[in-house]
Structure 1
Amino acid sequence: MATTYAVDPGNPDDSYLSFWREKHLCTLTTLRPDGTPHLVPVGVTYDPGALLARVITNRTSAKVRHVLAAGAEGAPVAVCQVDGRRWATLEGRAVVRTERAHVAEAERRYAERYGRTPSPNPSRVVIEIALTRAMGRG
Structure 2
Amino acid sequence: MKSPSARAAAFLAEPHLCTLTTLRPDGSPHVTAVRFTWDPVAGVARVLTVASSRKARNVTRRPGARVAVCQAEGFRWITLEGTATVYDDPARVAEGAHRYLDRYLSAPPAPPDRVVIDIVVDRILSLNL
TM-score norm. by structure 2 comes to 0.95
Pairwise CA distance, 1:137: 1.0
Q: Aligned-residue CA RMSD in angstroms? A: 1.1
Matched, 1:42 2:43: no
1:28-67 pair list within 5 angstroms = 28-67=20-59
Match of 1:49, SS state, is coil
1:14 & 1:35 partners in 2: Cα distance?
35
Pairwise CA distance, 1:116: 0.2
Q: Which residue of 1 aligns with 2:117?
A: 127
Give the aligned residue type for 1:46.
W
1:1-138 pair list within 5 angstroms = 8=2, 11-71=3-63, 74-138=64-128
Give the aligned residue type for 1:92.
G
Once the two structures are superposed, residues 33-77 of structure 1 have per-residue CA deviations (whole angstroms, 9 ceiling, x without a partner) of: 111000000001111210100000011100011001103xx2100
Structure 2 residue runs of 5 or longer lacking an equivalent are: none
1:86 & 1:127 partners in 2: Cα distance?
25
TM-score norm. by structure 1 comes to 0.89
2:97 & 2:59 partners in 1: Cα distance?
20
Q: Where in structure 1 do 4 or more consecutive aligned residues deviate above 2 Å? A: none
1:84 & 1:13 partners in 2: Cα distance?
19
Q: Which residue of 2 aligns with 1:4?
A: none
Q: Percent identity?
A: 48
1:107 & 1:121 partners in 2: Cα distance?
12
2:81 & 2:43 partners in 1: Cα distance?
11
